[in-house]
Amino acid sequence: MLKKIKRNLKIFLLFSYQSLKNTTQSRQALFLFTLAKILRFVLLFGLIFLIFSKTNNILGWSLKQVIILYLTFNFIDTFSQVLYREVYRFRPLVISGNLDLILIKPYHPFLRVLIGGVDFLDFLLLIPYFFLLLFFILKENILFLSFFWYLILVVNGLIITTAFHIFVLSFGLLTTEVDNAIMIYRDILNLGRFPVEIYQQTISFVLTFIIPIGVMITFPVKSLFNFLSFKNILFAFFIAFFLLSLSIYFWQIGLKKYQSAGG
Amino acid sequence: MINVKNLTKIYKIYRKTGNLINDIFFRKYEDVLALDKVSFTIDDNELVGFIGPNGAGKTTTLKILSGILYPTSGKVSVLGFSPFEKREAFLKQISFVMGQRNQLIWDLPAIDTFLLNKAIYEINDLKFKKNLQKLTTILSAEKLIQKPVKMLSLGERMKMEFIAALLHQPKIVFLDEPTIGLDIFSQEAIRNFIKSYQKEFQATIILTSHYLEDVKRLAKRLIIINKGKILYDGSLVSIFQKFSQVKYVSLILEKEIKKEALLKIGQLINYQFPKAVFRIQKKFLPKVIGYINNKIDYLDLVIEDEKIEEVIKNLLSDHK
Amino acid sequence: MRKYLFVFVLTLKEYFTYRLNFLIWRIRVLISFLVPFFLWLTVTKQIKNFTGYEEKSIISYFFFSHLLSYFILGTRTVDITSQIQNGEIINLILKPMSFFNYYFFRDLADKILNFALSFLEIIIFFSVFSFTLPQLNFNFFLPFLSFLLIGLFLSFYLNLLISFLSFWSTEVWAPRFIFFILISILSGSFFPLDLLPKKLFSIILLTPFPYLFFLPVKMISSPETLINKIDFNFLFFMSIFYLTTLFFLSKILWQKGLKNFSFWGR
């Protein structure tokens, strides 16, 4: 068992190393790219300050809380892009037929198509994002227990995002018609940039209980400030487990229905 | 080693009608029968050639045997495993090379992919070194492994693909159109390589190809498949016995004979003194040879089978 | 002229061949509308007057912004990059029709389709969630029309310019991405630009972004709030300035690009 973990880790590291080698090949463009992302981050951050310059609470959320929410969103969003960047390249893999050559290798295809393309540039951004988040949290008087539940729920949120990425992969096995399935997930995730309560009730409900973006982002932050009921925490765990199992099941079905490309 | 019984595979294809409304709202899906109750057995150390026109089911068969596709019905057993389950122990013993498709990492030298495969297939250092050396020697590719793959020609790339695929000494090697798109020299090199490989490593090799030359040179056993059905499964030699009705008789004449006289022998294909070529039905051959011996003065007589391309072409068009 | 109409119709047809992709695209458009809309709605519900915006005017702003932004920004010029890289562009150049006109009509198809669908979707959205439809302000109709046309062509030439960069580099996705980010923040799709403090707003007015769709949106929804703050002539001058600059730049890059262009065979 330990041997298997060691081997999988070795393969993962090899893939990541290759990904790093590939990244360093077009440096100028990537520098501009990163600059643009930082710009967007700073501008939206500034927008939050602008809003709170005229009021000190929005639907019960204070400036500090909205900032922590925004930073938590940023962290989860960036983290999943860093780890699961390869999902964005899945469709060309299917269309070219090169996916077949991955399926016959003696390792789980997820090692390659899910986490085989670690994005190092975003990883570099992740570090300052992480410290910024930590800074704002530590500024508040947070109980250790609340922080503990916050961390658990953030990890829980990462499990949900993993499930979403696996859904996208399964979808890619079933049809090559859609070229932007992963982008629709990103758009939906973006709805979690701000507290889920700002949306109209129905949408807010959907975002909490059906496509649980609210569970991924709003819940951890709420628990940090002791606004989350235990019932909701349980629900968060349940939905993460449910979605992960469902996504893996869909992947198995996708493999059976997979018709491969060309002759 | 490979056991296939009543294997059937049906694809669902969406047919575009060109009518915009229909294509959006009332799509029709068609069932395409790619394999129709196919059965065969392949033993250790065999080299089998699959031939058939496009869409015959060759690649589908290989993809099912390797576990990529899920069979619609029937029994498939490879090395005692059910391929689709993709058990690690199974995958470590097989390999698949598809012409014009790559497992090599595009931007890096081939050696990097080899090292990756070493980790994936858990090949120990000694074995890795030994196999790498053997393979690069047979392919005369020692210098190529350090060049970035994107800078290699197609022929050179295929050589690297072969090495990457065979480093772990698989028991079964699937080759799908391995020489497609290659120039004559590269084709020759690959063919020789496959022959040497099998001799050296004693693997079972299953090969599909459009190029009959591939099959003629390599395979002793031939499976001809068309429209999902096996038309012939047997040795390359006995295909003539079974399906060919015709022999070609070439005569080198001693003195010039009028064409009309030659026509009495049989169907005259070509006559340019001193050589005359006839196409004779097998059943008439003894009679014809007798006649020639009695009535014609010749310097040389050669009896040949028709070309295998002809045999197969006729076989396939009979089953259209 | 007929051939361009054909190009127009053909572009529309292309959209419908991948129906699932099409559906997902429309869903994405709607979802990306939700964030700024509900954010600012919530804010203006709480703060009754946010730099001149209240609930009603915010709803009105986003209604028109949604319609017009896709109309102005919709483009097919992204295809140019791949056409340059795989050599397909040669086929277009050899045809007896103007490249610029060809892409203009392709874009027009994209814009009109975007507009029609956005219109349908937002009407449905507003009725489902019981928002009252905003009123059109016709007091400044002529300025509205002029800024709309200027914005249309401005966007067209700007998009062409970015695509023409592919003549010189294969890494054109980076400038396009930056351009996309700048537009999403500075053009008014995420928040009304005049929400910003006056100083910042003045700086943004020196860039080409507000002249894309922000001005026409203001002219048709709440022009008075803008006119009180900024000199109208200045706005007009800036937009024309950028339009002519980008027009000439794109023509120049096109000529230069064709000269530099070496089609490396495949």
> What CA–CA distance (Å, rounded) separates C59 from C63?
6
- Residue A25, judged by CB atoms within 10 A of its CB (0-12, 13-18, 19+), counts as exposed
**Cross-chain CB nearest to B108 (options A11, A18, A263):** A18
Strand order in the sheet with B221-226: B94-98, B172-176, B204-208, B47-51, B221-226, B229-235
**pLDDT over 90, % of chain C:** 41
Between C83 and A155, the higher pLDDT residue? A155
Hey, are the CB atoms on B20 and C16 less than 8 Å from each other? yes
The pLDDT value given to residue C266: 33
The pLDDT value given to residue A15: 93
Nearest C-alpha neighbor of B245 from the set B310, B197, B189:
B310
Q: Which chain C residues are Cβ-neighbours of B20 within 8 angstroms? A: 13, 16
B20/C contact by beta carbon, under 8 A: yes
In our burial notation (b when 16+ CB lie closer than 10 A, e otherwise), range A86-101 reads: bbbebbebbeebebbb
The pLDDT value given to residue B16: 65
pTM here is: 0.83
A42/C contact by beta carbon, under 8 A: no
Q: What's the pLDDT tens digit per position in C22-31?
A: 888 889 999 9
Q: Scanning every residue of chain B, which has its alpha carbon at the shortest distance from the alpha carbon of A23? A: B107
Strand order in the sheet with B275-281: B267-272, B275-281, B246-253, B298-305
- Helices A144-174, A181-190: axis angle to 10 degrees equals 150
Q: What is the DSSP string of C36-93?
A: HHHHHHHHHHHSS-BTTB-HHHHHHHHHHHHHHHHHHH---THHHHHHHHTSTHHHHH
Those of residues 166-205 in C touching chain A at CB distance below 8 A are 171, 173-175, 177-178, 181-182, 184-185, 190-191, 195-196
Strands B47-51, B204-208: pairing kind: parallel
Contact assessment for residue A118 and residue A83, using Cβ atoms and an 8 Å cutoff: yes
Hey, are the CB atoms on A33 and C47 less than 8 Å from each other? no
C48/B contact by beta carbon, under 8 A: no
A200/C contact by beta carbon, under 8 A: yes
Contact assessment for residue A215 and residue A208, using Cβ atoms and an 8 Å cutoff: yes
Q: What's the pLDDT tens digit per position in A10-26?
A: 999 999 998 888 777 77
Overall average pLDDT of the B298-308 stretch: 86
Strands B47-51, B221-226: pairing kind: parallel
Nearest C-alpha neighbor of B82 from the set A246, A107, A256:
A256
- pLDDT band, residue A150 (cuts 50/70/90): very high
Q: What's the pLDDT tens digit per position in C124-139?
A: 999 999 898 888 888 8
- pLDDT band, residue A175 (cuts 50/70/90): confident
- pLDDT band, residue B18 (cuts 50/70/90): low
Q: Which amino acid is at B248?
A: Y
The pLDDT value given to residue B76: 96
The pLDDT value given to residue C264: 47
Contact assessment for residue A129 and residue A72, using Cβ atoms and an 8 Å cutoff: no
The pLDDT value given to residue B133: 93
| Averaged pLDDT of chain B | 87
> What CA–CA distance (Å, rounded) separates A15 from B120?
11
CA dihedral B103, B107, B112, B114 (to 10 degrees): 20
User: B42 is written with which tokens?
Assistant: 């392949």
> What CA–CA distance (Å, rounded) separates A196 from C89?
47
Determine which of A30, A53, A58 to mutate to test the interface with C (most C C-beta atoms within 10 Å).
Answer: A58
Q: Scanning every residue of chain C, which has its alpha carbon at the shortest distance from the alpha carbon of B26? A: C19
Helix segments in chain C, DSSP class H = 2-17, 19-46, 55-73, 78-85, 89-94, 99-128, 141-164, 173-186, 198-204, 214-221, 223-227, 232-260
Contact assessment for residue B2 and residue B24, using Cβ atoms and an 8 Å cutoff: no
In our burial notation (b when 16+ CB lie closer than 10 A, e otherwise), range B184-213 reads: eebbebbbebbeebbeebebbbbbbbbbbe
Maximum mean pLDDT: which of A9-23, A24-38, B15-29: A9-23
DSSP tag of C262: -
Q: Which chain C residues are Cβ-neighbours of A187 within 8 angstroms? A: 28, 31-32
Other C-beta atoms lying within 10 Å of the C-beta of residue A18: 19
Q: What's the pLDDT tens digit per position in A110-138?
A: 999 999 999 888 898 999 999 999 999 98
Hey, are the CB atoms on A100 and B98 less than 8 Å from each other? yes
Residue located via tokens 């020697």: B137
In our burial notation (b when 16+ CB lie closer than 10 A, e otherwise), range C10-36 reads: ebeeeeeebeeebebbeebbbbbbbbb
A193/C contact by beta carbon, under 8 A: yes
- pLDDT band, residue C176 (cuts 50/70/90): confident
Contact assessment for residue B253 and residue B296, using Cβ atoms and an 8 Å cutoff: yes
> What CA–CA distance (Å, rounded) separates C235 from C227?
10
Q: Which chain B residues are Cβ-neighbours of A261 within 8 angstroms? A: none
Residue A6 pLDDT > 80, yes or no?
Answer: yes
In our burial notation (b when 16+ CB lie closer than 10 A, e otherwise), range C154-177 reads: bbbbbbbbbbbbbbeeebbbbbbe
Q: Which chain B residues are Cβ-neighbours of C16 within 8 angstroms? A: 20, 23-24
- For chain A, how many residues are written? 263
The pLDDT value given to residue A30: 79
Residue A244 pLDDT > 90, yes or no?
Answer: yes
Overall average pLDDT of the B192-208 stretch: 91
Q: Which chain A residues are Cβ-neighbours of B101 within 8 angstroms? A: 96-98, 100-101
A261/B contact by beta carbon, under 8 A: no
A59/C contact by beta carbon, under 8 A: yes
Q: C49 vs A191, C123, C247, CA distance in Å?
A: 25, 26, 40
Give the per-residue SS3 of chain A. Answer: CHHHHHHHHHHHHHHHHHHHHHHCCCHHHHHHHHHHHHHHHHHHHHHHHHHHCCCCCECCECHHHHHHHHHHHHHHHHHHHHHCHHHHHHHHHHHHCHHHHHHCCCCCCHHHHCCCCCCHHHHHHHHHHHHHHHHHHHHCCCCHHHHHHHHHHHHHHHHHHHHHHHHHHHHHHHCCCCCCHHHHHHHHHHHHHCCHHHCCHHHHHHHHHHCCHHHHCHHHHHHHCCCCCHHHHHHHHHHHHHHHHHHHHHHHHHHHHCCCCCC
The pLDDT value given to residue B21: 60
Residue C263 pLDDT > 60, yes or no?
Answer: no
Mark residue A206 as left, alpha or beta (left: phi above 0; alpha: psi -120 to 50; beta: remaining).
alpha
**pLDDT over 90, % of chain B:** 35
Hey, are the CB atoms on A259 and B119 less than 8 Å from each other? no
> What CA–CA distance (Å, rounded) separates B309 from C218?
75
Q: B75 vs B3, B38, B83, B317, C213, CA distance in Å?
A: 8, 10, 10, 29, 63
User: Rounded to the nearest 5°, which phi and psi values hold at B273?
Assistant: -45, 130
Residue located via tokens 């026409």: C216
Per-domain residue ranges for chain A?
2-257
Residue located via tokens 């639907």: A59
Nearest C-alpha neighbor of A59 from the set A173, A194, A158, A171:
A194
Residue located via tokens 């703060």: C47
A190/C contact by beta carbon, under 8 A: yes
Q: What's the pLDDT tens digit per position in C41-100?
A: 999 988 888 888 888 889 999 999 999 999 999 888 988 888 887 777 877 877 777 889
Other C-beta atoms lying within 10 Å of the C-beta of residue C148: 18
Contact assessment for residue C154 and residue C242, using Cβ atoms and an 8 Å cutoff: yes
- pLDDT band, residue B241 (cuts 50/70/90): confident
Q: Which chains touch B (3 or more CB pairs under 8 A)?
A: A, C
Overall average pLDDT of the B225-246 stretch: 86
Least trusted range by pLDDT, from B88-97, B223-232, C221-230? C221-230
CA distance, residue A160 to nearest chain C CA (Å): 20
- pLDDT band, residue B168 (cuts 50/70/90): very high
Q: Which chains touch A (3 or more CB pairs under 8 A)?
A: B, C
> What CA–CA distance (Å, rounded) separates B152 from B71?
37
Per-domain residue ranges for chain C?
2-260
Overall average pLDDT of the A207-222 stretch: 91
Contact assessment for residue C76 and residue C107, using Cβ atoms and an 8 Å cutoff: yes
Tell me: cis bond preceding B83? Omega within 30 of 0 counts: no
User: B55 is written with which tokens?
Assistant: 């869409």
